[in-house]
Every structure is written in C-alpha cells, then in structure tokens.
C-alpha cells in the first residue's frame, strides 16, 4: 500500500482488499474541534506568560495561534503539549499537580486548558466533518472495523456530543493512555492499541491524521496506509513525517475494490 509521495489528489483510493480496519484521529479529522483546542491553549499560555512577565520581567511574546499550536501542541497529550511549548520558550516548571489554579506547574496549566476547552464545548457544542462521517459509514458497510484514537481525556464526551459514537467499534483515548501508561504521539502506542483491540495487524490498518505528530505515529507504527488530512496548509510536512496520501478533506478519498482492472465502490 505504500506507493510513495502521491501528493494532494482528488482520486485517492482506499483498497478494501488490503485495508480491513481504520483508526481515525478525533480533533481535526472527525470533529471540528482543533480550533477550539487552539483557542483554549492560547488563553492558557497567554495568561501564564503575562503573569510570568509581570513577576520576572522580560518581553511578553504571546502564544502564536497557528505556528505554536501546530509545532508544539497539536496531536500531543495535554501534559506533553505544556512541556513542549514551555521548552520552546526555555521555561521549565515543576510537574506536580495541585488543586490551586494559581500554582505554576505543568499539571496545573494542563488543568486550566482542559477547563477552558470544556467551557467552549458546553457553550457551543461539537460538529463532525460530514465527509468523515460519510467515509466512516462507507467503510463500515464494507466490513471495515473502525476506531477513534485521541490523546484527549475528553474523547468519549466529544465523540458523543458530535453524534458519532455509534460509528466506532473501538475507542482509545487519553484515559486509556494514563491507565495503560502508553506514551503519546508521535509514539505509535495509541494506534497500536487500537489495532490490537480491533484484532487487525497494523499492516492492514489505515490511519487518518491531521497532525504532524499523529502522522509520524502512524508511519512509525508500520500501518499499511497513513492518510494526512491537510487542514493547515502543511502538506509537505505531512509527507515528510510519513503520510502516504495527503488530502485537504476526506471527501477526496474513495473506498473501493479492484475488479477486472476497474475500481468498484466498496459499499
């Protein structure tokens, strides 16, 4: 299934003879929540950076909604996102969590971000990408098992709010990662756990990801097809991290079987 760098295409095919399971990232692939996460991260880090500048001096440089989000937190677990962004600014904080919201620790900043994100979800709700829902239905009709994979501890809540829980056989999320001590993306552990639960070898499993860390996880895990969903204009980076196919939306993909030299719909 790995045919090299095929670039953006409006006629990419998921070969149903080869793909028997599919693992979908949540934020940015299934649900239109990546922007909500980015806004919650910006509020969290900007509050922290302003407070730090006031107490320690120096120049205040706000969290960049695009560059900092994509480079340091997108696709990562919440605490890894905190650590990675702070490291980019040369900041190291204690790890220990606390119930005191004013405490400057990695865990406390992560908790703030989660509260801001949940506030947005409760206020504005969650929407799923119609093209992703359509592809999920097509794959399931063709007998392909499906999983949602996310570093978020709020995965179940978000998928349910999007009305998509019934479309997945398996869910692997941040709560599983914590319970099973699974490292976050770009380590492939979450996707490998999903393949294990679907009882399908990685080589016959497709991964759908929009983040650089997630695409790298799919490639490192030996998955048969890694699809990069380019919602942020980073096609080259997605290819460089290991995507076999890069599309701007999953509507550009077809699931089909080869019959007598022709592709026939896999419905």
Same domain as 147, residue 54 = no
Q: Respond yes or no: is residue 25 known to be catalytic.
A: yes
DSSP 101: T
Residue 259 and residue 249 share a domain? yes
Residue 226 burial (10 A CB sphere; 0-12, 13-18, 19+): buried
Q: Are residues 140 and 256 in the same domain?
A: yes
Domain boundary residue, one of 124, 159, 193? 124
Whole domain around residue 47: which residue ranges?
34-124
* 228-237 confidence digits (pLDDT tens): 999 989 999 9
Position 6 scores a pLDDT of 46
Comparison of pLDDT for 121 and 220, the residue scoring more: 220
For 19-70, the pLDDT digits (tens) are 999 999 999 999 988 788 888 999 999 999 999 998 888 889 999 988 999 8
Residue 133 domain-assigned? Answer: yes
For 45-56, the pLDDT digits (tens) are 999 999 999 888
Active-site position among 5, 11, 25, 47: 25
Q: Which of 78, 96, 124 is the last residue of a domain?
A: 124
CA atoms within 13 A on the CB side of 182: 26
Catalytic residue among 5, 11, 27, 74: 27
Rounded Cα–Cα distance for residues 123 and 127 (Å): 13
Residues 146 and 23 reside in one and the same domain: yes
Task: Kindly state whether residue 2 falls inside one of the protein's structural domains.
Answer: no
């Amino acid at each position: 299934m790995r045919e090299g760098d095929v670039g953006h295409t409006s006629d990419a095919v998921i070969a149903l003879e080869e793909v028997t399971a599919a693992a979908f990232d949540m934020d940015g692939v299934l649900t239109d929540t990546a922007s909500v996460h980015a806004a919650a991260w910006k509020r969290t880090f900007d509050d922290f950076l302003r407070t730090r500048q006031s107490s320690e001096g120096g120049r205040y440089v706000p969290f960049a909604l695009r560059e900092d989000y994509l480079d340091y937190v997108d696709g990562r677990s919440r605490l890894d996102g905190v650590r990675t962004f702070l490291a980019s600014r040369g900041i190291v904080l204690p790890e220990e969590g606390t119930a005191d919201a004013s405490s400057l620790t990695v865990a406390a900043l992560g908790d703030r971000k989660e509260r801001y994100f949940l506030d947005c979800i409760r206020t504005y709700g969650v929407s799923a990408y119609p093209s992703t829902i359509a592809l999920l239905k097509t794959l399931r009709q063709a007998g392909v098992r499906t999983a949602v994979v996310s570093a978020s501890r709020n995965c179940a809540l978000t998928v349910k709010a999007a009305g998509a829980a019934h479309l997945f056989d398996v869910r692997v999320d941040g709560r599983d990662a914590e319970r099973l001590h699974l490292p976050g993306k770009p380590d492939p552990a979450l996707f490998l756990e999903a393949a294990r639960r679907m009882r399908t070898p990685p080589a016959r499993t497709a991964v759908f990801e929009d983040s650089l860390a997630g695409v790298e996880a799919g490639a490192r895990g030996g998955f048969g097809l890694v699809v990069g969903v380019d919602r942020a204009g980073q096609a080259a980076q997605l290819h460089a991290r290991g995507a076999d196919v890069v599309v701007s939306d999953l509507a550009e993909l077809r699931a089909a079987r080869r019959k007598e030299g022709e592709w026939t719909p896999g419905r």
